[in-house]
Protein backbone atom coordinates (compact mmCIF):
# COMPACT_ATOMS: atom_id res chain seq x y z
CA UNK A 1 0.00 0.00 0.00
CA UNK A 2 1.26 3.47 -0.81
CA UNK A 3 2.55 5.11 2.35
CA UNK A 4 0.35 8.22 2.22
CA UNK A 5 -3.03 6.44 2.00
CA UNK A 6 -3.40 5.92 5.76
CA UNK A 7 -2.60 9.50 6.87
CA UNK A 8 -4.74 10.84 4.01
CA UNK A 9 -7.71 8.72 5.15
CA UNK A 10 -7.23 9.83 8.77
CA UNK A 11 -6.95 13.45 7.72
CA UNK A 12 -10.07 13.18 5.56
CA UNK A 13 -12.00 11.76 8.52
CA UNK A 14 -10.79 14.64 10.68
CA UNK A 15 -11.89 17.22 8.12
CA UNK A 16 -15.34 15.61 7.83
CA UNK A 17 -15.67 15.54 11.60
CA UNK A 18 -14.71 19.22 11.86
CA UNK A 19 -17.18 20.19 9.12
CA UNK A 20 -20.04 18.37 10.84
CA UNK A 21 -19.12 20.26 13.99
CA UNK A 22 -19.36 23.58 12.15
CA UNK A 23 -22.74 22.50 10.78
CA UNK A 24 -23.94 21.90 14.35
CA UNK A 25 -22.86 25.42 15.27
CA UNK A 26 -25.31 26.59 12.62
CA UNK A 27 -28.02 24.66 14.41
CA UNK A 28 -27.04 26.29 17.71
CA UNK A 29 -25.72 23.01 19.08
CA UNK A 30 -22.65 24.63 20.55
CA UNK A 31 -21.47 21.88 22.85
CA UNK A 32 -21.67 18.97 20.38
CA UNK A 33 -20.43 21.22 17.57
CA UNK A 34 -17.44 22.38 19.57
CA UNK A 35 -16.64 18.82 20.58
CA UNK A 36 -16.66 17.69 16.93
CA UNK A 37 -14.57 20.63 15.74
CA UNK A 38 -12.04 20.02 18.49
CA UNK A 39 -11.98 16.28 17.78
CA UNK A 40 -11.68 16.86 14.04
CA UNK A 41 -8.79 19.27 14.54
CA UNK A 42 -7.03 16.74 16.77
CA UNK A 43 -7.49 13.98 14.19
CA UNK A 44 -6.11 16.24 11.43
CA UNK A 45 -3.09 17.03 13.63
CA UNK A 46 -2.46 13.32 14.18
CA UNK A 47 -2.74 12.73 10.43
CA UNK A 48 -0.23 15.52 9.79
CA UNK A 49 2.17 13.92 12.29
CA UNK A 50 1.80 10.53 10.57
CA UNK A 51 2.43 12.24 7.22
CA UNK A 52 5.66 13.86 8.39
CA UNK A 53 6.95 10.61 9.89
CA UNK A 54 5.94 8.67 6.79
CA UNK A 55 7.54 11.23 4.49
CA UNK A 56 10.78 11.07 6.44
CA UNK A 57 10.89 7.28 6.27
CA UNK A 58 9.84 7.30 2.62
CA UNK A 59 12.55 9.79 1.73
CA UNK A 60 15.17 7.55 3.29
CA UNK A 61 13.90 4.35 1.71
CA UNK A 62 13.46 5.83 -1.77
CA UNK A 63 16.81 7.60 -1.86
CA UNK A 64 18.60 4.42 -0.72
CA UNK A 65 16.56 2.07 -2.89
CA UNK A 66 18.59 -0.40 -4.98
CA UNK A 67 17.60 -2.69 -7.84
CA UNK A 68 19.68 -5.57 -9.26
CA UNK A 69 19.94 -5.15 -13.03
CA UNK A 70 22.32 -7.96 -13.97
CA UNK A 71 24.19 -10.97 -12.63
CA UNK A 72 27.54 -11.82 -14.24
CA UNK A 73 29.41 -15.14 -13.97
CA UNK A 74 32.96 -15.26 -15.32
CA UNK A 75 34.93 -18.27 -16.59
CA UNK A 76 38.59 -18.21 -17.57
CA UNK A 77 39.36 -19.07 -21.20
CA UNK A 78 42.98 -17.94 -21.71
CA UNK A 79 45.11 -15.01 -20.57
CA UNK A 80 43.02 -11.82 -20.83
CA UNK A 81 40.10 -13.72 -22.36
CA UNK A 82 37.01 -14.63 -20.32
CA UNK A 83 33.57 -16.05 -20.96
CA UNK A 84 30.87 -13.92 -19.30
CA UNK A 85 27.41 -15.34 -18.63
CA UNK A 86 25.08 -12.35 -18.16
CA UNK A 87 21.54 -12.58 -16.82
CA UNK A 88 19.74 -9.25 -17.19
CA UNK A 89 16.84 -8.19 -15.00
CA UNK A 90 13.57 -9.31 -16.57
CA UNK A 91 15.14 -12.09 -18.62
CA UNK A 92 15.00 -15.82 -17.84
CA UNK A 93 17.95 -17.12 -19.83
CA UNK A 94 21.50 -15.77 -19.50
CA UNK A 95 23.55 -14.85 -22.57
CA UNK A 96 27.21 -15.68 -23.01
CA UNK A 97 29.82 -13.24 -24.30
CA UNK A 98 33.56 -13.45 -24.89
CA UNK A 99 35.40 -10.58 -23.25
CA UNK A 100 39.02 -9.57 -23.73
CA UNK A 101 40.95 -7.70 -21.08
CA UNK A 102 41.36 -7.63 -17.33
CA UNK A 103 38.12 -5.92 -16.25
CA UNK A 104 34.44 -6.05 -17.15
CA UNK A 105 32.56 -2.79 -17.54
CA UNK A 106 28.86 -1.91 -17.67
CA UNK A 107 27.45 1.41 -18.85
CA UNK A 108 23.92 2.78 -18.59
CA UNK A 109 21.94 5.92 -19.35
CA UNK A 110 20.10 7.27 -16.31
CA UNK A 111 17.29 9.70 -15.58
CA UNK A 112 17.40 10.91 -11.97
CA UNK A 113 14.24 12.46 -10.52
CA UNK A 114 14.06 15.26 -7.96
CA UNK A 115 13.72 14.26 -4.28
CA UNK A 116 9.99 15.05 -4.17
CA UNK A 117 9.44 12.71 -7.12
CA UNK A 118 11.42 10.02 -5.26
CA UNK A 119 9.13 10.48 -2.28
CA UNK A 120 6.10 9.90 -4.50
CA UNK A 121 7.62 6.59 -5.56
CA UNK A 122 9.48 7.44 -8.77
CA UNK A 123 12.84 5.68 -8.83
CA UNK A 124 15.67 6.71 -11.11
CA UNK A 125 15.14 4.97 -14.44
CA UNK A 126 17.89 3.45 -16.51
CA UNK A 127 18.64 1.83 -19.82
CA UNK A 128 21.63 -0.49 -19.92
CA UNK A 129 23.72 0.62 -22.85
CA UNK A 130 26.71 -1.68 -23.27
CA UNK A 131 29.11 -4.15 -21.71
CA UNK A 132 32.80 -4.21 -22.53
CA UNK A 133 36.08 -5.75 -21.56
CA UNK A 134 38.89 -3.37 -20.76
CA UNK A 135 42.56 -3.77 -19.96
CA UNK A 136 44.15 -2.72 -16.72
CA UNK A 137 46.94 -1.04 -18.66
CA UNK A 138 46.01 2.07 -20.60
CA UNK A 139 48.61 1.22 -23.23
CA UNK A 140 47.08 -2.22 -23.74
CA UNK A 141 43.63 -0.68 -23.87
CA UNK A 142 44.80 1.50 -26.77
CA UNK A 143 46.65 -1.19 -28.69
CA UNK A 144 44.99 -4.56 -28.06
CA UNK A 145 41.64 -5.71 -29.53
CA UNK A 146 38.61 -4.73 -27.48
CA UNK A 147 35.22 -6.41 -27.08
CA UNK A 148 32.08 -4.29 -26.72
CA UNK A 149 28.48 -5.59 -26.76
CA UNK A 150 25.14 -3.74 -26.78
CA UNK A 151 22.82 -4.84 -23.98
CA UNK A 152 19.54 -3.22 -25.03
CA UNK A 153 17.95 -2.57 -28.39
CA UNK A 154 16.61 0.95 -28.80
CA UNK A 155 13.06 -0.17 -29.54
CA UNK A 156 9.78 1.57 -28.82
CA UNK A 157 9.39 4.98 -27.20
CA UNK A 158 12.64 6.84 -26.55
CA UNK A 159 12.01 7.88 -22.94
CA UNK A 160 15.36 9.65 -22.70
CA UNK A 161 14.69 11.80 -25.75
CA UNK A 162 11.22 12.56 -24.45
CA UNK A 163 12.57 13.68 -21.07
CA UNK A 164 15.13 15.91 -22.77
CA UNK A 165 12.35 17.61 -24.70
CA UNK A 166 9.48 17.62 -22.18
CA UNK A 167 10.87 16.74 -18.75
CA UNK A 168 11.39 20.34 -17.71
CA UNK A 169 7.68 21.03 -17.84
CA UNK A 170 7.08 19.28 -14.52
CA UNK A 171 10.48 20.14 -13.03
CA UNK A 172 10.64 16.50 -11.95
CA UNK A 173 13.92 15.59 -13.66
CA UNK A 174 17.00 16.33 -11.58
CA UNK A 175 19.56 15.06 -14.13
CA UNK A 176 20.10 12.68 -17.01
CA UNK A 177 23.54 11.31 -17.57
CA UNK A 178 25.65 8.22 -18.21
CA UNK A 179 26.95 5.97 -15.46
CA UNK A 180 29.37 3.06 -15.45
CA UNK A 181 30.92 0.47 -13.18
CA UNK A 182 33.79 -1.94 -13.73
CA UNK A 183 35.38 -4.73 -11.72
CA UNK A 184 38.27 -7.17 -12.26
CA UNK A 185 37.71 -10.37 -14.20
CA UNK A 186 38.95 -13.39 -12.24
CA UNK A 187 38.20 -17.11 -12.79
CA UNK A 188 34.90 -18.20 -11.24
CA UNK A 189 33.93 -14.71 -10.10
CA UNK A 190 30.28 -13.69 -9.88
CA UNK A 191 29.14 -10.06 -9.63
CA UNK A 192 25.82 -8.38 -9.08
CA UNK A 193 25.32 -5.15 -11.03
CA UNK A 194 23.00 -2.83 -9.10
CA UNK A 195 21.14 0.34 -10.01
CA UNK A 196 20.93 2.94 -7.23
CA UNK A 197 19.24 6.33 -7.26
CA UNK A 198 22.57 7.84 -8.36
CA UNK A 199 24.07 5.30 -10.75
CA UNK A 200 25.45 1.81 -11.30
CA UNK A 201 27.48 -0.04 -8.70
CA UNK A 202 28.94 -3.56 -8.54
CA UNK A 203 28.98 -6.03 -5.65
CA UNK A 204 30.80 -9.36 -5.39
CA UNK A 205 28.46 -12.34 -5.19
CA UNK A 206 30.96 -15.07 -4.26
CA UNK A 207 34.40 -15.63 -2.75
CA UNK A 208 36.44 -15.49 -6.01
CA UNK A 209 34.93 -12.07 -6.74
CA UNK A 210 35.65 -10.81 -3.23
CA UNK A 211 39.24 -12.10 -3.45
CA UNK A 212 39.64 -10.51 -6.86
CA UNK A 213 38.55 -7.13 -5.50
CA UNK A 214 40.95 -7.44 -2.56
CA UNK A 215 43.85 -8.12 -4.96
CA UNK A 216 42.78 -5.48 -7.49
CA UNK A 217 45.39 -2.79 -7.95
CA UNK A 218 45.38 0.36 -10.09
CA UNK A 219 47.68 0.32 -13.12
CA UNK A 220 51.17 1.66 -12.76
CA UNK A 221 51.64 5.23 -13.93
CA UNK A 222 52.13 5.27 -17.66
CA UNK A 223 53.35 8.11 -19.82
CA UNK A 224 52.16 7.70 -23.38
CA UNK A 225 53.88 9.39 -26.28
CA UNK A 226 51.01 10.85 -28.21
CA UNK A 227 51.79 12.92 -31.27
CA UNK A 228 49.21 15.55 -32.13
CA UNK A 229 49.20 16.84 -35.67
CA UNK A 230 47.54 20.12 -36.52
CA UNK A 231 45.86 20.28 -39.88
CA UNK A 232 46.64 23.35 -41.92
CA UNK A 233 44.31 24.86 -44.42
CA UNK A 234 45.87 25.71 -47.76
CA UNK A 235 46.54 29.38 -48.27
* DSSP-derived 3-state class of residue 192: strand
Q: Domain locations in the chain? A: 5-63, 67-215
* Predicted local distance difference test score (pLDDT) of residue 1: 44
Q: 147 forms bridges with which residues in the sheet?
A: 133
pLDDT tens for residues 35-77?
Answer: 666 776 777 777 676 665 555 444 444 445 788 889 999 999 9
Q: How many CB atoms lie within 10 A of CB 183?
A: 22
Nearest to 104 by CA among 136, 68, 127: 136
Q: What is the mean pLDDT of the chain?
A: 76
* Predicted local distance difference test score (pLDDT) of residue 28: 60
Lowest mean pLDDT among 52-61, 114-123, 184-193, 206-215: 52-61
- 50 within 8 A of 7, measured Cβ to Cβ: yes
In angstroms, the CA 206 to CA 210 distance is: 6
pLDDT tens for residues 108-130?
Answer: 888 777 777 766 666 677 788 89
* Predicted local distance difference test score (pLDDT) of residue 118: 66
Nearest to 128 by CA among 150, 113, 147, 111: 150
Q: 85 forms bridges with which residues in the sheet?
A: 73, 96
Confidence label for 6 from pLDDT (cuts 50, 70 and 90): low
Amino acid sequence: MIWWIFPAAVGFFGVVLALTGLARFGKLKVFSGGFRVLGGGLVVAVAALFSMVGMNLQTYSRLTHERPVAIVDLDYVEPQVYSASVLLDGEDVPKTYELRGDEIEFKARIIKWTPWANILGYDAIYRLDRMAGQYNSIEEDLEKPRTVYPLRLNDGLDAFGLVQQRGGWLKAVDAYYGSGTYVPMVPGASYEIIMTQNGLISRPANDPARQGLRNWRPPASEVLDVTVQTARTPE
